[in-house]
Structure 1
Amino acid sequence: MTVEQIYTGCLAQGAYYVESKGEAIVIDPLREVQPYIEKAEKNGAKIKYVFETHFHADFVSGHIDLAKKTGAKIVYGPTSAKTGFETYIAQDGEVFNIGDVKIKVLHTPGHTMESSCYLLIDENGKETALFTGDTLFIGDVGRPDLAQHVISDLTEEKLAGHLFDSLRNKIMPLNDDLIVYPAHGAGSACGKNM
């Protein structure tokens, strides 16, 4: 199993490439998709899924181009939003097989209502990593004030409550030795104090 971060410093944005036994996924791909395609081709792997942790407002995702060029399926966590492109809406707890490893969807609303984290389970069944998108950063959490501009009956307080519940009920019960892979680092506007 390989996990690689593809980081764009000017956006403080991290995308992730995960590969196992000839199958690969990309999580939160950046607009320029050729590096993911080249990596998969070099390794003799097929990109099977493109996982999005939420609908991004801070950068242009390459999910549509990557899906068109590779035949990969675009996956979002639970949402009632309608997209203008082919998308698979996963259920909370749904598991996807990638080679010998698995990705489990953890719906973690708060930053946005569709925010989801993806739990990586290795070939031995051990939970090893968590791709947190904008739900959890290193030393911070995602801003709970963005989705209120999209859904009229949401308030920052309601979103903060959802985020608290997501962190408390979905993330904190996980093993302490998980590696956390957030979507942003220092310099991003998505965390309030980074």
Structure 2
Amino acid sequence: MKIEQIYTGCLAQGAYYIQSGNEAVIIDPLREVDSYIEKAKENGATIKYIFETHFHADFVSGHVDLAKKTGAEIVFGPTATTEFDSYIGTDDEIFEVGKAKIKLLHTPGHTMESSTFLLIDEDGKEKAIFSGDTLFIGDVGRPDLAVKSDLTEEDLAGFLFDSLRNKIMTLPDHVVVYPAHGAGSACGKNMSSETWDTLGNQKKTNYALRADMSKKEFIKEVTEGIMPPPQYFAKN
């Protein structure tokens, strides 16, 4: 099995290439997609799925072009609606990639469709999570970017607390966390320059994963000190 983080420093963004056997998936692709296609070709693989952890406001995703060029299926988490062809997955749904599996964990909070993808290797071991903007290294996703008339940032922060505690922190400590962004992104307030870590270490060092933190404390922590979002985020 192959896992490759494709990190673009100017955007502080991580896309991911995962391959098992002769099948591959791309997670959160950037606009220019030829490099993903070439990578799969070099490795004798077909791109089967394009997983989007959430709708992105800070960069243009290449999912539609990549799907057109490869025939791969675009997958979003629950509650997502699109004007292009896509598959809306369900919580805990399993997707097979070669002899590996990818499990969709619905983790709303940053946005309501936000999902984390759990990679289960060929031996059935929980290997890694691709956490999008739900969990960063040293931080968690901002809960103020998807505020709508019926949802406040406090509401979203509450959803994020539940997602982290019930979906992510219950996973084994050895699981590797691969987020969508690192330091320099506007999607968090305290992100590390590191681009991956173990979940166990994040439980020890990430302020938002403190074991004895109440939901009320969490909401206060993650909503304080947030810089105003770039004006184009709402339009995107």
TM-score (norm 1): 0.97
Structure 1 distance, partners of 2:137, 2:190, is 11
Once the two structures are TM-superposed, the CA of residue 84 in structure 1 deviates from its matched residue by 1.2
Q: Does 1:67 align with 2:67?
A: yes
Structure 1 distance, partners of 2:187, 2:78, is 21
1:81-101: CA deviations, max 9, x gaps?
Answer: 431100100000000000010
Structure 2 distance, partners of 1:144, 1:82, is 20
For structure 2, the 5+ residue unaligned runs are 192-236
For structure 1, the 5+ residue unaligned runs are none
Q: Which residue of 2 aligns with 1:125?
A: 124
1:30-66: CA deviations, max 9, x gaps?
Answer: 1110110000011110000000000000100000000
Once the two structures are TM-superposed, the CA of residue 193 in structure 1 deviates from its matched residue by 1.9
Among candidates 163, 180, 183, match of residue 183 of structure 1: 180
Q: What SS class does the counterpart of residue 161 from structure 1 fall into?
A: helix
* Pairwise CA RMSD: 0.6
Structure 1 distance, partners of 2:43, 2:167, is 34
Q: Which residue of 1 aligns with 2:196?
A: none
Structure 2 counterparts to residues 83-98 of structure 1, below 5 A: 83-98=82-97
Structure 1 distance, partners of 2:48, 2:39, is 14
Structure 2 distance, partners of 1:83, 1:11, is 24
Q: Which residue of 1 aligns with 2:29?
A: 29
Q: Which residue of 2 aligns with 1:48?
A: 48
Q: Which residue of 2 aligns with 1:155?
A: 152
Structure 1 distance, partners of 2:96, 2:185, is 31
Name whichever structure is richer in strand by fraction.
1
Q: What SS class does the counterpart of residue 67 from structure 1 fall into?
A: helix
Q: Which protein is bigger by CA-based radius of gyration?
A: 2
Q: What SS class does the counterpart of residue 35 from structure 1 fall into?
A: helix
Once the two structures are TM-superposed, the CA of residue 71 in structure 1 deviates from its matched residue by 0.2
1:160 maps to a residue whose letter is: A
TM-score (norm 2): 0.80
Q: What SS class does the counterpart of residue 25 from structure 1 fall into?
A: strand
Structure 2 distance, partners of 1:160, 1:147, is 11
1:111-168: CA deviations, max 9, x gaps?
Answer: 00000000000001000100000000000000000110xx310000000000000000
Structure 1 distance, partners of 2:69, 2:104, is 24
Q: Which residue of 1 aligns with 2:163?
A: 166
Name whichever structure is richer in helix by fraction.
2
Structure 2 distance, partners of 1:9, 1:176, is 27
Structure 2 distance, partners of 1:123, 1:84, is 35
Q: What SS class does the counterpart of residue 136 from structure 1 fall into?
A: coil
Q: Does 1:7 align with 2:7?
A: yes
Q: Which residue of 1 aligns with 2:209?
A: none
Structure 2 distance, partners of 1:139, 1:82, is 30
Structure 1 distance, partners of 2:138, 2:54, is 20
Once the two structures are TM-superposed, the CA of residue 29 in structure 1 deviates from its matched residue by 0.3
Q: What SS class does the counterpart of residue 105 from structure 1 fall into?
A: strand
Runs of 4+ in 1 over 2 A off after TM superposition: none
